Chain A
Amino acid sequence: MNKAEERAIINKIVAGDTNSYRLIVDALKDRIAAVCMSMLKNETWAEEVGQDTFVRLYNALPKFKGDSNLSTYATRIAINLCKNKLDSVNRRRNRFLVQTDSHNTVPSSQESTQKKLENQELINLALDVLKPEERSVVVLRLMEGYSIKETAEIIGIKEGTVMSKLSRAIKKMQTVLDDLK
């Protein structure tokens, strides 16, 4: 879908032709699925966040001026919703850890299963140590192949910040892998 076609569809949707939105969802859903799955590593959450992304995008269409690509705009919404989801999951997890600490429960060791881990699982494990914003930089730049400029635009930070966050995130992830050896 080129930019002119995209604009024409948006105009139709804003004028009340809700059904045309199906075209936008079909065109963008694979990209959003990739971002949500890479960020969340959980199919149920990814599907949930993916749906929320498209509902929010629909509500934001009347205000969308076309300064950026619609796909970039949708990815930005998805990344923000994924970060919110990760924050809420981490908060819940921390609460749980505090409760289990008081009962002297030792977290299960990951070392015993180290040899069975496949590449994807290793990546998931390494991604787990990152903060939501660092994770979004790694997912967009290294896993989804966005350029530094696009990554900066989607997350809403400067290109230099993307690069520094990326190098910090890679160091953290590498430490996790080295510890597993």
Chain B
Amino acid sequence: MEIKDLLKENEHRTYRFADGFTNSVMERIASSTPILVMWQKRAIQIAAACAILVCAFLQTIEGSISLDAMLGISSYNDAEISATENLYNLWDQIEIN
């Protein structure tokens, strides 16, 4: 007995889903769509709330919501940083003495 012959005999066998198949699919789609839309809306709301919080945080801490502030890049220039460092060194010297 050859498997190829057996398969050939069964080639045109037809299968059908139960009668209410299309309705079941349509019901599943109808019930899943609002949930999907609801979650999309919720995700957008959460993303918007996070963006507002980040802006408020930057405004409070950095005094700016510029790109530099968002990336954590200092807005002080080199001269200002070295002046502050010198001041701290001076304080240390005074404390030691």
Contact = CB atoms under 8 A, between A and B. Distances in A.
Interface string A29-46: 110111011100000001
Nearest to A16: B33
A163 interface: no
B3 A126 contact: yes
A25 B33 contact: no
Interface of A: 18-19, 21-22, 25-26, 29-30, 32-34, 36-38, 46-47, 50-51, 54-55, 58-59, 119-120, 122-123, 126, 138, 142-143, 145, 170, 173-174, 177, 181
B10 to A, nearest CB: 6
B36 to A, nearest CB: 8
A154 B16 CA distance: 21
A96 B26 CA distance: 36
Contacts of B30: 18
Interface of B: 1-4, 6-11, 13-18, 21-22, 24-26, 28-30, 32-33, 36
A142 B21 contact: no
B6 A51 contact: no
A51 B25 contact: yes
B81 to A, nearest CB: 51
Given A34-B14, A173-B3, A174-B2, 5 more contacts: A29-B21, A33-B17, A51-B28, A126-B6, A177-B3
B19 to A, nearest CB: 11
Contact of A181 (B1, B8, B24, B29): B1
Contacts of B1: 122, 177, 181
B47 to A, nearest CB: 20
A47 B18 contact: yes
Contacts of B36: 59
Given A174-B2, A177-B3, A55 B25 contact: yes
